[in-house]
Structure 1
Amino acid sequence: MMLSIDIWQLLGLAGTLLVSMAGVALTLGKWLLGQFERRLDQRFSLQEEIRLATQKHWDSQFSSLEKAAANEAKEWQRIERDILLMKADLPVQYVRRDDYIRNQSIIEAKLDGLAVRIENVFLKGDRHG
């Protein structure tokens, strides 16, 4: 049995084989690119979820810090107000040492003067009595 193939048939067969291999290669390439793109989409969506979770975490941390700072500022304002009230009450509530000594000296001088008068009254009373 003798097989005879014409050159044109051989070229046609080779062309068909080449086209079908190119089609398989393109289909395989398209499938691989689809897999690659799907994997990238999964990674990007996972990264986006992680980014959103991290953003929520840091937003909550910063808001708690802002609240703490606001509370601290209020606390400092309260302390400052208390100090100012104490400074205002200080002259009314407390007497300075120099003022106390001066007042004590005045009271002692008055008592000494009163003692002298009482002594004079006793001495005058002894003379008349």
Structure 2
Amino acid sequence: MTVQVDFWQLVLLLISFFGACAWAFKLLLGQTQRHLDDRFSNVSLRLDGIEVANKEEAAQWARVERELMDLKAELPLNYVRREDYIRGQSIIEAKLDGLAVKIENNQLRSLLPGGGK
């Protein structure tokens, strides 16, 4: 049994084969492109979410920074340094000591004969 193929039939067969290969390649390329588009759209959505989260975080940091500045502004009004407290306490104690000396002197004068006046 012998098969005889003419030149034009061979050319037509080769053109059909390459056409089928090109069609299959185009189909696979289209599926790959669609898959990549889906992945990039998902990545785009994730990046948008990250951008929104980043903006929210920046707003929260700005709020924390503003509260810290408010605290720094209020702190000198509500806070007494240790040295200031000690100085104030020393002044009060000195005044009390002076008052005690005056009271003691008055008590001693009253004990002296004829010195109560």
- TM-score, normalised by the number of residues in structure 1: 0.71
Matched, 1:53 2:27: no
Could you tell me which residue of structure 2 aligns to residue 43 of structure 1?
Answer: 28
Look up the SS of the partner of 1:99 in the other structure: helix
Could you tell me which residue of structure 1 aligns to residue 99 of structure 2?
Answer: 114
Matched, 1:86 2:71: yes
Determine which structure has more spread, i.e. the larger CA radius of gyration. 1
Could you tell me which residue of structure 1 aligns to residue 90 of structure 2?
Answer: 105
Look up the SS of the partner of 1:95 in the other structure: coil
Distance (Å, rounded) in 2 between the aligned partners of 1:26 and 1:78: 76
Aligned-pair Cα RMSD in Å: 2.4
Post-superposition offset of 1:124: 4.4
Aligned residue among 34, 59, 62 for 1:77: 62
Distance (Å, rounded) in 2 between the aligned partners of 1:47 and 1:90: 63
Post-superposition offset of 1:43: 1.1
| Shift >3 Å, 4+ stretches | 120-129
Post-superposition offset of 1:117: 2.8
Highest RCO, 1 vs 2 (Cα 8 Å, sep ≥ 6): 2
Distance (Å, rounded) in 1 between the aligned partners of 2:80 and 2:103: 32
Distance (Å, rounded) in 2 between the aligned partners of 1:71 and 1:116: 67
Distance (Å, rounded) in 1 between the aligned partners of 2:41 and 2:106: 94
Structure 2 regions of 5+ residues with no counterpart? none
Distance (Å, rounded) in 1 between the aligned partners of 2:34 and 2:78: 64
Q: Greater helix percent: which structure? A: 1
